[in-house]
Structure 1
Amino acid sequence: MYKNYVSRILFYILIWIIALAFFTFLREFGQDVLKDYTSLKIFQQIGVHLILGIFAGILFGSIQIVFEKYIFKKIAFGAALLVGSLGYLLAIFALLSLAIFVFSGILEEELHINLYRELLLSKEVVPIIVYCFLVASLINFLSEVDKKFGPGNLRKMLSGKFYKPKEEERIFMFLDLRSSTSIAERLGHIRYSELIQDCFRDISIVKKYKAEIYQYVGDEAVLTWEKEKGLKNNRCIKTYLAFQEKIYSKRKYYSEKYEVVPEFKAGMHMGIITVAEVGEYKREIAYHGDTINTASRIQNECNILGKDFLISEDIKKQLGSKEGFDLKFEGNIQLKGKTEAMRIYSLNSV
């Protein structure tokens, strides 16, 4: 979690350094918020932009991360935009205050409250406020779009990586809520949908294990990894165990709100698939191939065998150390729609 926070903050710092440098370029160094800015030496100007860029990156990045974690997921989209806008405006005024302080120190000007108020409320500051607000809003918009397509997929779509179908070797996991029909009948449609919302919020823990959430289908989530990322340190296995642990740690919350602690079964397989950008009216990155169907069929066997987590032998052969879990051979299983039986293993944490 800490590593993810640091990497996102560094990204915001880089973006804001570039954004502030670009603003200065557009103004041709002519923004006269403080006197004699152009008299600064070039290394002083660079230093100012680095200081402000680092501060802006930390400030706006922290706001974005905190809002995403504690606020945005609990309120409607329109309210989230309003709260986010207010947060950005407060951050912009904090950034301007630092800018005035830094410039005053470099230019050796005495900064008293009247001068500070005059500078902060001057008409020359308006373009800066508008520009910073637009940059913050654009970053937030791109962040939301990136989440819509899945982390990193927006960049791939913009670069045209999947405009033509390509083959990849991937791992797929199908996660499905146990006893979903009976739970839905007992809770009703609205409360059942709220339960699914809560479960899928908790599934965000998979980011720690480099999993991509390919799609949600009803009460089912489909996760995927590039082969190397999923097998490294058994991430594909640890993902399911971590999700189980997350649900268990919130069992009191689920019991009190829904009178049920959700349980998920999973099936996992790996192999060659085709990935392509599809759709005109609605675009998305889609995966095609027998690997996906097989992973789904393996998950269907969980109810028949009375197991929570089943994997194919292709996965089993590629796993590293089995520390933290046990594998049990369940037999040669004839999966629905398959001509040949597959060797299937069940997995349990220890």
Structure 2
Amino acid sequence: MHNLRFWFVAPVLGALAGLLYAGVFNAGTLTGSAIRGAFIGSPILLYERGFLLPYWRDRIRQAATPLFAIATLATYAAMIVLGNAIAGTLLHHVFGHMHSARAAMFMTEAGFAYALGVSGVIVFVFRVRDLIGPSVFTNLLIGRYHRPISETRIFLFLDVSGSTQFADRHGDLAAQAYLGQIFNALAAPVRRSGGSIDDYIGDMALVTWTMKRGAKDAACLRCVLDFAATLAADAAIWRDRFGQVPEFRAALHCGSVVTAEIGFERHKIAYFGDVVNTTARLEALSKTLGVTILVSADLLACIGPLPDDLVAEDLDFHAIRGRNEPLAVSAIRQR
């Protein structure tokens, strides 16, 4: 539903940008500027949300920043020209703008410069968002955690198995490329589940969810299973490029933490509380137990009855360093 809503939001935002252009430059009619803005802005916004040309977008997002900027601006320029041509044709035939359809399809230099300038700002904003993470970027922007707050969150520690051995065989540079591709593959399942990759620690990723998003339909558990399915589906590609298919261990837990924005010259959103340490120790326990996906009983209780296609295998209570009481854990698998 949220994705469907954005297909209506994008044209509105584009139309507002067109109206701003008409107001600033006193150019064209308000109706014409709004329609041009909608047809120019919508493809760009939909592209950035991954609805248009997703494969091309994902490819260039992995490039170095200069190449990313050039490729993105070129993509935007093509969308601007095409969107304006469609809008101009519509305006000519429906509203009688311009004496010919050909003239209506062309942009003024000021109009193109304005559209490209706005696109450049969008490129910069989305690149910064990619670098620090969408959720962190939004929360820093609105100052949600400028003052520490207490909240309940779900944490996932996902550790890539055998990365040290891979580095011993192929070298550190190859190992970094290997880990980079694995974490790239993790991004989409996390996004689809409503989570946020908050940090990378060596060969481990820290993912978090608000309780509402992560518990709904067991989204946090489905994220890990979705990631496993993604690796399996691309098994031939992994073997061809790296000689093996990645394996991982995952541990999930939830609880109350204090979330705060820390740092002065380099801001970061950090979590304080025993929940983070417990999740890290559950990840170590998953290795001892030989379990791929380990989840605490606390989290299962918050999720409630699991969907029919998921099974939790009870693994009893285990002592966790730093906790006074043993913690019940379960292994998660698909039925």
Q: TM-score, normalised by structure 1?
A: 0.86
Structure-2 residue corresponding to 1:242 = 226
Percent identical among aligned pairs is: 22
By how many angstroms is 1:154 displaced? Answer: 2.9
Which aligned pairs between 1:23-172 and structure 2 lie closer than 5 A? 23-27=21-25, 29=26, 31=27, 37=28, 45-46=30-31, 48-64=32-48, 65=50, 66=53, 69-105=57-93, 106-107=95-96, 109-111=98-100, 115=103, 120=107, 125-172=108-155
Could you report, residue by residue, the CA deviation over 1:294-349 in whole angstroms, capped at 9, with x for unpaired residues? 11111110111111111111012123333222222222211233333211212222
Provide the rounded CA distance (Å) in 2 between the counterparts of 1:271 and 1:63.
36
The question of whether the paired residues in 1 share the 8 Å contact of 2:260 and 2:270 is answered with: yes
> Aligned match of 1:255 in 239, 243, 261?
239
- Give structure 2 stretches of 5+ with no counterpart: none
| 1:329 pairs with 2:314 | yes
Q: Do the aligned partners of residues 4 and 244 (structure 1) sit closer, same or farther apart at CA in structure 2, a change above 3 Å counting?
A: farther
In the TM superposition, what is the alpha-carbon distance from 1:4 to its structure 2 partner?
Answer: 6.7
Contact 2:135 2:196 in 1 (8 A): no
Gaps of at least 5 residues in structure 1 are 32-36, 39-44
> In the alignment, what sits opposite 1:349?
334
Against the structure 1 CA distance between its residues 329 and 102, is the aligned structure 2 distance closer, same or farther, given a 3 Å change threshold?
closer
Q: Does 1:290 align with 2:274?
A: yes
Residues 21 and 33 in structure 2, CA contact (< 8 A), matched pair in contact too: no
Give the 3 Å change call, closer, same or farther, for CA 231–70 of structure 1 in structure 2. closer
The Cα offsets for residues 192-213 of structure 1, whole Å up to 9 and x where unpaired, read as 1111111111101221111111
Q: 1:303 aligns with which of 284, 287, 296?
A: 287
Q: 1:246 corresponds to which letter in structure 2? A: T
Give the CA deviation at 1:8: 4.8
Q: In structure 2, what is the equivalent of residue 188 of structure 1?
A: 171
Counting matched residue pairs gives 328
Q: Find the counterpart in structure 2 of residue 227 from structure 1.
A: 211
Find the structure with the greater CA-based Rg. Answer: 1
Shift in Å, 1:116: 6.2
Deviation of 1:181 after TM superposition, in Å, equals: 1.5
* Aligned-residue offset at 1:146: 2.5
Greater alpha carbon shift after TM alignment, 152-161 vs 284-293: 152-161
Mapped pair 1:173 → 2:128: no
- How far is the alpha carbon of 1:190 from its aligned partner? 1.4
Give me the whole-angstrom Cα distance separating, in 2, the residues matched to 1:151 and 1:188.
32
Aligned to 1:41: none
Would the aligned equivalents of 2:36 and 2:83 in 1 still touch at CA under 8 Å?
yes
| 1:116–1:15 Cα change, 3 Å | closer
How big is the alpha-carbon RMSD for the aligned residues of Structure 1 and Structure 2?
2.3
Report what 2:324 is aligned to: 339
Structure 1 pair 71–230 and aligned structure 2 pair: CA distance change class (3 A) = same
